[in-house]
Amino acid sequence: MATHTHFRTCSLCEAMCGLAIEVDGERILSIRGDDEDVFSQGHICPKAVALKDLHEDPDRLRRPLRRRGSDWEEIGWDAALDLAAERLLEVQRAHGRHAVAVYQGNPTVHNYGAILYGQILLRALRTRGRFSATSVDQLPHMLASLLMFGHQLLLPVPDIDRTSFLLVLGANPLVSNGSLLTAPGIERRLRALRARGGRLVVVDPRRTETAAMADTHLAIRPGTDALFLLALLEVVFEAGLARPGRLQPMLSGLDEVEAAAREFPPERVAAATGLRAEEIRTLAHAFAKAPSAVAYGRVGVSTQELGGVCQWLIYVLNIVTGNLDRAGGTMFTRPAVDLVALGDRIGQRGHFGKGRSRVRGLPEFGGEWPAAALAEEMETAGPDQIRAFVSLAGNPVLSTPNGARLERALPGLDFMVSIDPYLNETSRHAHLVLPPVSPLERDHYDLVFHLLAVRNTVRYSPPLFAPPTDGREDWQILHGLARRIGTRRGRQTFASSMTTRAVGRLGPRGILALLLRTGPHGRGLRPWGRGLTLKALERAPHGIDLGPLTPALPGALRTADRRIALAPPVLMADLQRVRARLITTGKGSALSLIGRRELRSNNSWMHNSARLTRGRDPCTLLMHPGDASARGLADGDRVDVRSRVGQVEATLRVSEDMRPGVVSLPHGWGHHRPGTRLRVAALRPGASLNDLTDEAEVDALCGTAVLSGVPVEVRRSGGPAPVLA
């Protein structure tokens, strides 16, 4: 077979970069950026090339594995799916429906088959035991959208290509490539912002890669962003700079938020935030007076004690300065498949606090419990104790707070099944591992990230390689399980068994074709005419541009009174906890631990690629020189880092980039555990940040894990430095 070039979208992060993959038969010769991609125009990052490593990785599982004592045996798909269905039902029959829990990890969102058919499996299981990475990530954004706009998926996107002022809090888009902000080639876009005279301000306890290219960097004390945001609002109101403009008639609660903000002038929050009152004041003026401006907060402000309040206040700041729903502010998309409208149709705009978790009484969000409660729900006896566990595209042992506790809880389960291509820190505890095919052996469509993009575009990627005959895609695994559970359970309604069969016949591609036709740009069900169809997308391998973001309000609002709720009661009530924060001072000699991401890493996986991990100690602790010398520590020392829940060892890097009193460790490492099959990752195991984060610390409002600002002690360890190949 001759060489040819295949075009597809990278499925690893949120940026949706177009790839040009040159192949010779079954062999991948090269992976480059697709210069003709209507959105990414050739941009890629180093991870794209590692898709080859993932595809060819001999450690990537090709067939189901069944546990035999401490060993594994390969079994066939029918036997594996039968076994999983039987064991899950057995647990439900003996202990009730909710004794089975499901955790959905991050890659689910990058896999439209898994999104669609994950829902089918959840329906078949009929369990309330649902968990996902949402509660260690973007839950506060969704909460603010639900309470203020009436729909958890109405997420405003920062219009970074047209803004003249970008205020970034707790995000490092130069490294993460953007999150809830799909914009391939962020660095180029931020350079363009500065070139057209715009300003970039970054608020982060570390001088990150993004902060280093900013006009201003404010090294805030971790966990105090809510105070900082209130002070910005105070100045805006006090100086008469609150000008919502055309949004004014759409607002409710403006007086209440103003009254609340008035309590927090910059002078009052300066000490707690570690910032000067004057710099907060200057920033507030500059932001409010800019021709257009956008405040954008991500993981660093979501996963903290006051994360819910933070995302709310960021929305409020954009709204009162007139920067919601206008070019250069934050805007809503009009994607080809409109998940927001779909949520309306199936009655799922989201909900919050409809129940409390069994053990700790944490609030439900969107039908899920906080991941921080997973271990205790497994350990604590009583009705609805979790006794069986399905983990789908997740690695909660490394990615949820106090993962070590979860790791101790997993072996106590009656049954566990992981749907995952690797035998890793989590799946090694399963009784059965069901590996999907490689991402290059399935088609791809970004159901979620087109919704979060700075421009309306659409692109569909067919599979590059035919899946092996004994390979299964995620959706086939999920559907196979759901169907077996449905038939074995009996008492199935005729309608539900027909639905399961029908969606099985359609497949994700068939569903996508329907969703595209019935979406905002679609042709409808007419055989001819204008408008988008899947066929049209297949004829456009570089994607189709659907134009810039355009104003959508008030039409898009889903609140009962069709207004934006600026002062939702539960958020106003939570200001009580913000006030308390004013008087909490430093916790003795403890340092404050925060996380970080690295360009060549992807949460807890992609670490089995030698290309991405070669020659470096992935897991260094960054510390300010003053803190190091106070402890008699030097660059390169091995150190013990200890928190309430655990201890890890890391190599110290002394760095002026850190705020004094704050240390930083990346998350997603800790591949030293026995029993995994990750031979490359095990060479550079690093330590797990989540062996230090504390599952007891959550945002009391919404249950989001506190992953930032963990009190730790650091001292020199006896251990040798790791030897790197």
Ligand X SMILES: Nc1nc2c(c(=O)[nH]1)N[C@H]1C(S)=C(S)[C@@H](COP(=O)(O)OP(=O)(O)OC[C@H]3O[C@@H](n4cnc5c(=O)[nH]c(N)nc54)[C@H](O)[C@@H]3O)O[C@H]1N2
Contact residues for ligand SF4, defined by CB under 6 A: 10, 12-13, 15-17, 44-45, 47-48, 177, 184
**SS3 state at 594:** strand
Binding-residue total with Mo ion (CB under 5 A): 1
Min dist CB 47 to ligand SF4, Å, is 4
Determine contact, residues 39/20, Cβ cutoff 8 Å.
Answer: no
- CB under 5 to 8 A by kind: which of Mo ion, ligand SF4, ligand X, none does 300 bind? ligand X
Min dist CB 338 to Mo ion, Å, is 23
Min dist CB 603 to Mo ion, Å, is 7
Min dist CB 31 to ligand X, Å, is 17
Determine which residue in the list 61, 148, 154, 220 makes contact with ligand X, applying CB under 6 A.
220
Cβ-based burial of 539 (10 A; exposed 0-12, middle 13-18, buried ≥19)? exposed
- CB under 5 to 8 A by kind: which of Mo ion, ligand X, ligand SF4, none does 12 bind? ligand SF4
Rule CB under 6 A: say whether 158 interacts with ligand X: no
Contacts (CB under 5 A) with Mo ion, residues 123-152: 137
**SS3 state at 352:** strand
177-196 footprint of ligand X as x/- string (CB under 6 A): x-x-----------------
Within 299-395, where are the H helices?
A: 299-302, 307-320, 339-345, 374-379
Residue 32 or 268: which CB sits closer to ligand SF4? 32
Within 362-473, where are the H helices?
A: 374-379, 396-399, 403-409
> How far apart (Å, rounded) are the C-alpha atoms in residues 216 and 230?
19
Residue 251 β-bridge partners: 564
Q: Which stretch binds ligand X (CB under 6 A): 71-79, 346-354, 576-584, 590-598?
A: 590-598
Determine contact, residues 266/234, Cβ cutoff 8 Å.
Answer: yes
Residue 177 or 321: which CB sits closer to ligand X? 177
Rule CB under 5 A: say whether 14 interacts with Mo ion: no
- CB under 5 to 8 A by kind: which of ligand X, ligand SF4, Mo ion, none does 48 bind? ligand SF4
Residue 3 β-bridge partners: 24
Min dist CB 712 to ligand X, Å, is 12
> How far apart (Å, rounded) are the C-alpha atoms in residues 235 and 215?
21
> How far apart (Å, rounded) are the C-alpha atoms in residues 244 and 441?
49
Rule CB under 6 A: say whether 136 interacts with ligand X: yes
- CB under 5 to 8 A by kind: which of ligand X, Mo ion, ligand SF4, none does 155 bind? none
Among 15, 34, 37, which residue's Cα sits nearest to residue 543? 37
Determine contact, residues 396/406, Cβ cutoff 8 Å.
Answer: yes
- CB under 5 to 8 A by kind: which of ligand X, ligand SF4, Mo ion, none does 424 bind? ligand X
Residue of minimal CB distance from ligand X?
300
344-383 footprint of ligand X as x/- string (CB under 6 A): ----------------------------------------
Strands (E), 340-447: 352-356, 363-365, 388-392, 415-419, 432-434, 444-445
Q: How many residues does the chain have?
A: 725
Strands (E), 435-539: 444-445, 455-458, 460-461
- Chain residues binding ligand X by CB under 6 A are 13, 105-107, 111, 114, 133, 136-137, 169-173, 175-177, 179, 203-206, 208, 220, 222-223, 225, 298-301, 304, 392-396, 399, 419-422, 424, 436, 439, 474, 594-599, 601-605, 667-668, 689-690, 693, 707-709
